Amino acid sequence: MTATGEPGRILLIKPSSLGDIVHAMPVVAAFKQRWPSAHLTWLVKRQWAEIVQRIDGVDAVWPVDPTLASWLGQALALRAQRFDLVVDLQGLLRSALVARMTGCARRVGFANGREGSPWLYSQRVAVPTPEMHAVDRYLLIATALDAAVDTGAQFRFRRLPQDVTALRELFRRKGIDLDAPWVAMNVSARWPTKRWPAASFAAVATQLAARGIGPLVVIGGPDEREASAHVRRLTACPVVDLTGETPIGLLPALLSKACTLITNDSGPMHVAAAVGRPVVSIFGPTSAVRTGPYGAGHTALTHAIPCRPCFSRICRHAVPMECLESISPEQVVAAVVAQQSCRMASR
């Protein structure tokens, strides 16, 4: 603790996932505006460490492996850091235990945290309604700590020259210009119930190409290559496939160069919104109110049926995946065209 009573060392616990990590970025910006000299450490799962390293305001990234032994071992190591403030945005027993084991007296988390986690906090922050965006919910913590930002949520990535250099070389090898207009497409998602059909993505790519919008660049992680290849095989136009070729840390730089992103409800959707790129997203069982692309200029397409949003990874509806598959390629194309028209008109 500094001489003025302000926290000199802060630990933020938000280990996963990609979208949730992006949602937590405005908390970092708020803390750094309130306490500019504070040293902020972010505890995150190792697979997401590269993205957190690029978040402006994060002074140290503390990777943790998914095993219980790793969590307990890191908790003991964190104790030596002598934090003045620990904020648990994960709200689970494991994350709350880490907060408690750091030995920090001031441990802040949500009053509606799961698995009994609120019992391990010294300060509990109430969430007035579940029907609020995750970004705004996380910022309740900043407000409770008198670190609210009047200018709204701030998403700040460090722009590393080596990231752009690596992307420019990758695009050169693929025969396209990174700095020329192109459209990104993310065709996979962690939940099966979030995955719009490959044929629908292919139809969108074909229709956009016929309108002269593109080129289309498919992105994704190494384990999503098969899904991207399926879309590519069904598309009646050339598609550039970067799936598995861009490490997670390159996502902010990559998506900042795209004209727009067409995507399922996914982590890259939130990265694109954070870097100010317009998003057209397809939502099935999840809520665009709670976890849609944050900010203005985005389109979240949904199809209303009585059981959505169910937040389920398994569809039990009489017409399987009706909420997702009833969204047509023509709706997506119209949304992309409308976004492009708005951008051109604003120039």
Chain segment 97-149, per-residue pLDDT in tens: 999 999 999 999 999 999 999 999 999 999 999 999 999 999 999 999 999 87
CA distances 90 to 86, 106, 200, 208, 343, Å, are 12, 16, 34, 39, 36
Decide if pLDDT at 342 tops 60: no
Decide if pLDDT at 344 tops 80: no
Phi (first) and psi of residue 123, to 5 degrees: -140, 125
Q: What percent of the chain has pLDDT over 90?
A: 90
CA distances 262 to 32, 179, 208, 332, Å, are 33, 19, 11, 8
* Strand positions, DSSP E, the chain: 9-13, 39-45, 60-64, 85-88, 107-110, 123-125, 183-186, 216-219, 240-241, 260-264, 279-282, 299-301
User: pTM of the predicted model, to two decimals?
Assistant: 0.95
The dihedral through the CA atoms of 188, 192, 196, 201 has a sign that is: positive
Per-residue confidence at 315, pLDDT binned at 50, 70, 90? very high
> Closest Cα partner for 321 from 332, 333, 307?
307
Taking all residues of the chain, what is their mean pLDDT, rounded to a whole number? 94
Q: In one letter, which amino acid is 70?
A: S
Q: In the prediction, which pLDDT does 149 show?
A: 78
3-state SS, residue 129: coil
Per-residue confidence at 341, pLDDT binned at 50, 70, 90? low
3-state SS, residue 4: coil
Hey, how many other C-beta atoms are within 10 angstroms of the C-beta on 69? 8
